[in-house]
Amino acid sequence: MRININENFGKIKQNYLFSDIAARVKAYKEKNPEADIIRLGIGDVTLPLPAPSVRAMEAASKEMGVKDTFRGYPPEYGYDFLREAISRHYASLGTDIKPSEVFVSDGAKSDLGNLVDIMGDNEIIIPDPVYPVYVDSNLMCGRKATLVPGSADNGFLPMPPGKKGDPAVIYICSPNNPTGAVYGFDGLKAWVDYAIETGSLIIFDAAYEAFITEDVPHTIYQIPGADTCAIEVSSFSKFAGFTGTRCGWTVIPDGLESNGTKIAALWARRQATKFNGVSYPVQRAAEAALTEEGVKACMENIAYYRKNASMLSELLKSKGIFFTGGVNSPYVWLKCPNGMSGWEFFDLLLEKYGIVGTPGEGFGEAGSGFFRLTAFGSAEATAEACRRLSAL
Ligand code: PLP
């Protein structure tokens, strides 16, 4: 063929992180077939779906098999029953989001990747280290991001640039993947105030909201003025174990407009053109996760992961190793001891302790020399990992 391809793909750093990890683990396993390897590198949930969601999915699937209750294409923005349930979720957090401001999708990743479609050429500001989708989806359409580095000094919670610049699209992930750090009310207010003053847009990723235990914002709309400058993207993946079931949502408040154009109208047009909705059984399962019984079941699973996170945090505290996360997040982000790089620490953990984690280098330059452990393993495996690491 001689078609022109999107040359921007050449600018994306090939992310070999998880394949590199898999290759190193495989090589180690071949040399040490007896080794009992504990995997604390995964960012995927391991507990099954909450029972109310399973029941709802079964019932909805049966409806799909009966002529009178069969449904075809779902509405592009989600069934009213789910948009209303998500609106009630925001009401429970003391915020006022109308069902019409909620756009249901097949997950946060799709929305975060697709939102670039409705943006023009802007400055892009992204805290580093962070979930790589924000940087890569901008690079794919020829945009370049300015990274604001997190560090041990700012607790991996970078603040807005001191100098007020041009209007920008700002990505914030709180609680953060990979650092587990979470903005408090003042920190998030500083970003909202910056966005309002500079005419910028914040894209707030709340995928880990359910892990919050402290008095910090669960949604950016708890910050006054956010409804004039922020889109929020969220997900059932970590809250309800929907990583394989696929359902998320994006909130675009009615008041969000740029130079007189409503942002929600652009997103509605984008979705109606390129997306055909989420299946009915999945939306019923998501609705069930937000009922009183569903939330209770989801929070039992999250409590299980939280115990793992606190085992890992306690161990690091006892070792005097700097870390963030572990409290409002399934992630524990630690400074590699003795100035080691993330990869050196990876090899040490694997070879000496049989534990697999994720080197911070995979999440951006500011992640160098740090390491991510996750709480999504089993309680037994996490306890065994802590026992082994007590010798560290
Ligand atoms: N946002 C962050 C910060 C994540 O870490 C992830 C997945 O790991 C996602 C979004 C993706 O969510 P979803 O499964 O809804 O696509």
Mean pLDDT, range 347-351, rounded to an integer = 96
> What residue spans in the chain does CATH classification 3.90.1150.10 cover?
9-49+299-389
Mean pLDDT of the chain: 96
Minimum-distance ligand 1 atom for the alpha carbon of 108: 15
Mean pLDDT, range 282-305, rounded to an integer = 98
Q: Place 43 in a pLDDT band, splitting at 50, 70 and 90.
A: confident
9-49+299-389 CATH fold? Aspartate Aminotransferase, domain 1 (3.90.1150)
Residues lining ligand 1, Cβ inside 6 A:
43, 107-109, 131, 173, 177, 205, 207, 235, 237, 243, 248
pLDDT digits (tens, 9 = 90+) for 106-124: 999 999 999 999 999 999 9
Q: Place 150 in a pLDDT band, splitting at 50, 70 and 90.
A: very high
**Integer Cα distance of 207 and 189 in angstroms:** 19
Tell whether the model's pLDDT for residue 42 goes beyond 90.
no
Closest CA to 53 of 294, 295, 301: 294
Mutate to test the pocket of ligand 1, among 235, 278, 358, 363 (most ligand atoms within 8 A of CB): 235
Tell whether the model's pLDDT for residue 17 goes beyond 90.
no
pLDDT digits (tens, 9 = 90+) for 152-171: 999 999 999 887 889 999 99
Number of Cβ within a 10 Å radius of residue 167: 14
**Integer Cα distance of 268 and 277 in angstroms:** 12
**Integer Cα distance of 255 and 262 in angstroms:** 8
* Own/partner pairs, 338-346, CB within 8 angstroms, 24+ separation: 339/369, 340/369, 341/368, 341/369, 342/367, 342/368, 342/369, 342/370, 342/371, 345/371, 346/21, 346/24, 346/371
Tell whether the model's pLDDT for residue 14 goes beyond 80.
no
Residue with tokens 């709309």: 221
Mean pLDDT, range 255-283, rounded to an integer = 97
**Integer Cα distance of 362 and 366 in angstroms:** 10
Query: pTM of the entire structure?
Result: 0.97
Is the distance from CB of 26 to CB of 37 less than 8 angstroms?
Answer: no
Distance of CA 134 from the midpoint of ligand 1 (Å): 11
Q: Place 301 in a pLDDT band, splitting at 50, 70 and 90.
A: very high
> What residue spans in the chain does CATH classification 3.40.640.10 cover?
51-292
**Integer Cα distance of 280 and 115 in angstroms:** 24
Minimum-distance ligand 1 atom for the alpha carbon of 234: 15
Tell me if the domain spanning 51-292 has CATH number 3.40.640.10: yes
Distance of CA 180 from the midpoint of ligand 1 (Å): 13
Distance of CA 345 from the midpoint of ligand 1 (Å): 26
What pLDDT was estimated at residue 20? 87
